[in-house]
Amino acid sequence: SPAVRSERKVQSEYKLGDTGIDLEKDMIVGIPIFAIHRAPKYYPNPEKFDPARFSAKEIAKRDSYVYLHFGHGPRNCVGMRFALLEAKVCLVYIISCFNTKPCDKTPIPMKFAHNSLGILQPKDVFLASEI
């Protein structure tokens, strides 16, 4: 289940800019992840399912600490890579239940994008699917 809160122990005294807030050494600071992810200040209509809010354009508008899906920094979630792999495996399983075939927009012959890693990356792939 997703974490609703994260905690960090203050390593040395720290002043939060000109806020008047002083953090003392060994103090525990809580980060309310659940509340941040539902703040209308960062996410208009936060309870609405809106995949567009995770587009590259929208992500670029936000501070990187506003979406803490696996925490952030050197002490982020140890299970992050496993969870992402598990999601990909589930997606592949779901897609395998469909029959895919070329459609009118499918480029034939297929074109590939060039990248520096030497990996073939299909360009503009369009497919039709059937259950």
- Residue 45 in tokens: 């209509």
pLDDT by 10s per residue, the chain, length 131: 567 888 889 999 999 999 999 999 999 999 898 999 999 999 999 999 999 998 999 989 989 888 888 888 888 888 999 999 999 999 999 989 999 898 999 888 888 887 767 777 888 888 898 87
User: What is the DSSP-derived secondary structure letter of residue 53?
Assistant: G
Q: What is the pTM of this model?
A: 0.62
Examine residue 109 and say whether the peptide bond preceding it is cis (omega within 30 degrees of 0).
yes
Spatial distance between the Cα atoms of 69 and 33, rounded to a whole number of angstroms: 8
Residue with tokens 């309870």: 47
The 3-state DSSP composition of the chain as helix, strand, coil percent (nearest 5) reads 25, 20, 50
Category of 71 on φ-ψ map: left (φ > 0), alpha (ψ -120 to 50) or beta? left
State residue 1's pLDDT score: 58
Ramachandran region, residue 102 (left: φ > 0; alpha: ψ -120 to 50; beta: rest): beta
Tell me: is residue 103 an annotated ligand-binding position.
Answer: no
In whole angstroms, give the CA distance from residue 46 to residue 87: 23
Task: State the pLDDT at residue 84.
Answer: 93
Antiparallel, parallel or unpaired: β 28-31 and 6-9: antiparallel
The domain spans of the chain are: 6-97, 98-130
